[in-house]
Structure 1
Amino acid sequence: MEVLTTLFWIAVAVSVGMAAGWLFLRVLATALPGRAGRVFRSAPISAGFGMLVILIYLLVAILAPAIAPFSEREVVGGQFLPWDATHLLGTDNLGRDMFSRLVYGARNTVGIAFVTTALAFLLGSVLGLLAAAVGGWLDQVLSRVVDVLMAIPALVFSLLLLTIFGTSVVTLILVIAVIDSTRVFRLARSVGMNIVVMDFIEAARLRGEGLFHLIVREILPNASAPLIAEFGLRFCFVFLTISALSFLGLGIQPPTADWGSMVKENAVLITFGDITPLLPAGCIALLTVAVNFVVDWMLHRASGLKE
């Protein structure tokens, strides 16, 4: 009976999510003029749901101080208090309000993941396109360095470097960005290598265009579709990596609210049938699914395939 009840509520949640995604797409299609409206009108419901979830997360992250009833570090009651009108999701192992920490976790976890992804993407794509455009010894040196770095498991390498250099936010961002930039480099170089052999690149070289012009004006616009899609996927990987490192104690450090560390700190409640520790994990999973829905739609549009 409990299994049927769970399946029923899952079906209800999926139906509500898809209905909200469809409604969100209709609003965008109506509000945006011309081509933009037509793009959203033809988008799948899953993409609409993903964009709606991402928008909600962004609003929660930006408006965290206005939404959260307490500070993320404030001790407001006893340990592991149950859900009530004052503490909507109870309190954690130190007596801090779980709902407030969940809200602030959106700002900290998602914000740090986005900055890390942007830095990794900037470093990897610039070096990848540069290697493709220049070729020769520069391409060989960069490719071999990347091969060596990619031979080490990313999570193990991150744990090693964070143990050596410390676990500050700046160090966390730099370590994960450098490690993840190797994956971006491989994609950018592969896409760039397919573009530099095109006739219009040769024509630009014959016109005397410099390296900067070739990369920015000729190669990058033609490589933008797969790179943008990769940005979404890379964000998911970075987001999950930061959460995993926080769960292991080497990510975002307490008392800063972070979804990964929140699962670890309150995991004992699961043995008593309390689902509170699963809520941060659910937030991580929901955002990952939402970003993947949007990325799938973008890849489908970039491929030129028709329904």
Structure 2
Amino acid sequence: MSTHDDQPVQPDPVTGPDGMSSLPFNPLTGDLQDLQDSHTACWLWPNLSPEISRLDDVITDARIFLTTLLQPEPPEWAMQAALGMSRSNHAIHQHAQRHNSYVTAARSLWTTRIPQGTTTLTDAQIYALLAIHESRMAAALYCEIAQGIEVEMALTGVGHDDVEDIAWLRTAMAGWERALWHDAAQQTGTAEKFLLMAQFAASQPGVEQLRQAESRMAELQRRAQAAEDGVKTYRKGRRPGAVGKFTKALEELIDQAKSNKVKDIMVLIEAACYGGPIAGIQFQDCNDYHVWYLDIETKVEGQIKIPNLQRRLNRFSDI
């Protein structure tokens, strides 16, 4: 009976309509350079840079185990095997929990295309490729945070120097951002564990020692997945691009004023400070520089500068 499980090829989770390369990521030759190039201008990048550097280090260290496959040029079979592992990442994780071994899981899936003959990937090389791919996915999650905040800043007219407005914006999106930070940190830890396994496998341990290490690795991943499944239902928060309450309140004010000019809207905001909430927003105070308001459901207070308010209003069609 064949040891290969007929599994569909998984879609590559690190490519697609996110501004990155449209080509599937190949851990044998790929790196993080395109992610860095496309996100260094984001406001959040200075906060992300240490995490990306950490992942870069994992890739650099893992690449050492692939040197023989890269000189002078990667053979086609190795390119296909690495690409297959990248596409089958989710299935490899699932099967590893059953086999207690990631290398066994990788070799048992026909979609990974790892040759079964004498010319094949070593255990250390399989773990190195897994480490690189996990690093890439972690970096993509960090970049998704940066891009999401950047898009929301553009939609709401918040500039890179508007510290108070950025703080308010991130508060509104805190649940979404926190979940992605958690996922990225988990993925980073997995990448580093795979790198350790590559180093251990390369040291030529005894068969039993390697089996125990692989079993422990699979057990740690099972626990991490169980914890992840347990918190999924508690993940909340406004995602980038979602229409927030403040935006809905502005829409109502524009409808009332039949205008999106800041002078017309400010007249209604001043009146609203002495009235009831609008679309869940209670306007509290305003002057020539700021508008203060309260989300009556979350009790979160916010403020917006008048120039930023004007930019947000300009995004609505004039009536």
What's the TM-score, normalizing by structure 1? 0.28
Identify, as 1 or 2, the structure richer in helix: 1
Larger radius of gyration, structure 1 or 2?
A: 2
Normalized per residue, the structure richer in strand is: 2
